Amino acid sequence: MLPKKQYYENLADGLIEKFNLRGIEGYYCDNREEALATAKRFLTPGCSISWGGSMTLSEIGLMDALKNSDYILYDRTAAVTPEEKSELYAKTVTADYYFMSSNAITLDGQLINMDGFGNRVACLITGPKNVIIIAGMNKIVSDVPTGMERVRNMAAPPNCVRLNKDTPCAHLGRCTNCLTNDCICSNLVITRRSSIPGRIKVILVGEELGY
């Protein structure tokens, strides 16, 4: 095994122990193919599924797999009118499974996430019966302050570029703590534990995925 892969596996083993103390289920997959197979094993026939915006989910092929399936999908991007969006958001919180990534994960097992509208972190907190987080090992940070720094200067700027947002970080490549209309850093959520044991499941992947 390559040294970096062994390092990822060793790091993940310790993280999974910390997750267990916080009521979170943790899993480690060597690569994106294993991560996709693991995620699909949780799903039950006829279940309802929704997801938050995530490059990681696309990179492992999850979005294509879901859209070519017989599951009930609540896809917010399919909504056109405000009424349709409202209806889809209402359905999303009733989903059996909600997929997302995490902007950062601390060595002691805390999840750090920043949102623009808050729909993603809202579903992480409550609503969907199961939340499945898929994250590359590049998302691991030492502590909460380091995680918040990562969110602002490593995750938000490329996401603003991807989403064509007119924010300072999209142009400068770094956070200026802006309050612009296009800001995607409106809601910060730090998840210390899962109140419902096992509701949150984290699949760690031994690759660099997402932003």
- The encoded tokens of residue 107 equal 């060595």
pLDDT for res 42: 97
Residue 79's pLDDT is 83
Query: What's the mean pLDDT when you consider all of the chain?
Result: 95
* pLDDT value for 109: 98
Cβ(88)–Cβ(79) under 8 Å?
Answer: yes
Q: Kindly give the pairing relationship between strand 72-74 and strand 104-106.
A: unpaired
Rounded to the nearest angstrom, the gap between the alpha carbon of residue 202 and the centroid of all alpha carbons in its chain is: 9
pLDDT of residue 1: 74
Question: What average pLDDT score do residues 41-46 get?
Answer: 95
Please give the pLDDT value at position 151.
96
Give domain limits for the chain. 3-205
- Which is more confident, 30 or 2? 30
Determine the topology of domain 3-205 in CATH: Rossmann fold (3.40.50)
In this prediction, residue 145 carries a pLDDT of: 97
Q: Residue 85's pLDDT is what?
A: 87
Q: What is the pTM of this model?
A: 0.95
Task: Indicate the pLDDT class of residue 157, thresholds 50, 70 and 90.
Answer: very high
What pLDDT does 68 receive?
86
* Section 2-24 average pLDDT: 95
Q: Report pLDDT digits (tens) over 71-128.
A: 999 998 888 888 988 999 999 999 999 999 999 999 999 999 999 989 999 999 999 9
